[in-house]
Structure 1
Amino acid sequence: MSRTSPHTDGEIVQDFLSVAGLLEEPKLAQLYAYLAREEEATVQNVVEDLELAQGTAYSYVNRLVDAGVVVVTDDEQPRRYAAREIDLTVTTGAGDGEYTITPALIDAVGRRKTDADIDTYIDRHGVAGLATALIYVVARERGEVTHRLMADDLDISPLAAEMILQALRPVVHEHHQIDENVRHDTEEEVNK
């Protein structure tokens, strides 16, 4: 496992465990992604915007603070919270793959419970597969690849590729600079 900034081994392990917890619990991932988007929010903002019960919102926020992925930015009442930047690169045990865990990936996992296409993709390909799909979505939105190329590269059907590309498109546009004038393939364009 490597990290882009210098940390002690203990801090890297703690970061990994904290991020693993986010990837295992979509509701926590959703809250982290919300705080990353908003830059700063109160628990009341969380309650209103994510439609969580107040007790649940406090519990989730406290869990994220305890995990070290969210920090208190203002101790005055009402307290304000912000997501800590995450950029963790993990190498597979066999050494044949490397995955970077970013806020975009955490956001995508957080959408699992509200987007059936993301949920199905994670069930079939795991979070590592979702991380790979995100790379293709960025490339697709920049006009560098087509859904058919993604399907061939990942050995999935073109329909499955298009479905996950469309499901992850909003995530990519929230987390990456994408030129809106770039033309990318869609089913309509392919069928013309």
Structure 2
Amino acid sequence: MSRTSNQANGDLLREFLSIADLLEEPRLAQLYAYLARDGEATTQELIEALDLPQGTAYSYVDRLVDAGVIQVVSETPPRRYAAREIELTVTTADGEREYTITPALIDAVGRRETDADIDTYIDRHGIAGLATALTYTVERERGEMSHRLMARDLDISPLAAEIILQALRPIVHEHFDIETTGGSLADIEGVDTDFDDA
């Protein structure tokens, strides 16, 4: 595991465990991603934007502040919170691949409860697979990659590649400065959008 900035080992371990929580709990990831995308917010604004129960929202905010992944930016009531930048590079258990955990990846995880395609992809390929698909989506949106090349590289069906590329497309455009070049499923004749058939 490597990190882009230097931290004491205890701080790094705490941050890693906090990020692991974000990757395991989609609603927690949604809250972090909202702050990373939209900037500062009060707990009440988070409740309204994310449709969270009040107790859950306060609990999540406290957990993320304690974990150090969000910070209080205004102490005067009502308190305002902002996301801290996360960029942590990890190596898979088999040592074969590295991937970077970023706000965009956490945002994608946060959408698994509302996007069946992302949820299915994570179930089949894990967080490391989702991180890889996110990288391919950035390349696709820059015009450097096609769904067929991604499918070949990852040994998945072209349909599965296209579906996850489309699911991740809005996330890429919210987190990266990219001009749109990718196609859509509607542009591909005869493509069935039911992911389970892939």
Percent identity for Structure 1 against Structure 2: 69
Please state if 1:175 is matched with 2:144: no
Q: Go from structure 1 to structure 2 and tell me whether the alpha carbon gap of 1:162 and 1:14 turns closer, same or farther (over 3 Å shift).
A: same
Verify the 8 A CA contact 2:166 2:184 in the aligned structure 1. no
Aligned to 2:41: 41
Aligned to 1:133: 133
- The one-letter amino acid paired with 1:184 is G
Please give the residue correspondences for 1:17-166 in structure 2 after superposition, counting only pairs within 5 Å. 17-166=17-166
- Alignment RMSD, CA only? 1.4
Aligned to 2:195: none
Q: Which runs of 5 or more residues in structure 2 are unaligned?
A: 191-198
Residue 184 of structure 1, CA deviation: 2.8
Verify the 8 A CA contact 2:92 2:128 in the aligned structure 1. no
- The one-letter amino acid paired with 2:96 is D
Residue 94 of structure 1, CA deviation: 3.4
1:133-189 CA-to-partner distances (Å, cap 9, x unmatched) read 000000000000100000111111111001100000000000011013xx3344565
Residue 15 of structure 1, CA deviation: 1.2
Q: Go from structure 1 to structure 2 and tell me whether the alpha carbon gap of 1:152 and 1:81 turns closer, same or farther (over 3 Å shift).
A: same
Query: What is the alpha-carbon distance in structure 1 between the residues aligned to residue 184 and residue 171 of structure 2?
Result: 18
Equivalent pairs counted in the alignment come to: 190
Q: Which runs of 5 or more residues in structure 1 are unaligned?
A: none
Residue 95 of structure 1, CA deviation: 2.6
- The one-letter amino acid paired with 1:32 is Y
Q: Runs of 4 or more off by more than 2 Å in structure 1?
A: 92-95, 183-192
Verify the 8 A CA contact 1:108 1:168 in the aligned structure 2. yes
Partner of 2:41, secondary structure, is coil
Partner of 2:112, secondary structure, is coil
TM (normalized to structure 1)?
0.94
Partner of 2:100, secondary structure, is strand
TM (normalized to structure 2)?
0.92
Query: What is the alpha-carbon distance in structure 2 between the residues aligned to residue 39 and residue 188 of structure 1?
Result: 33
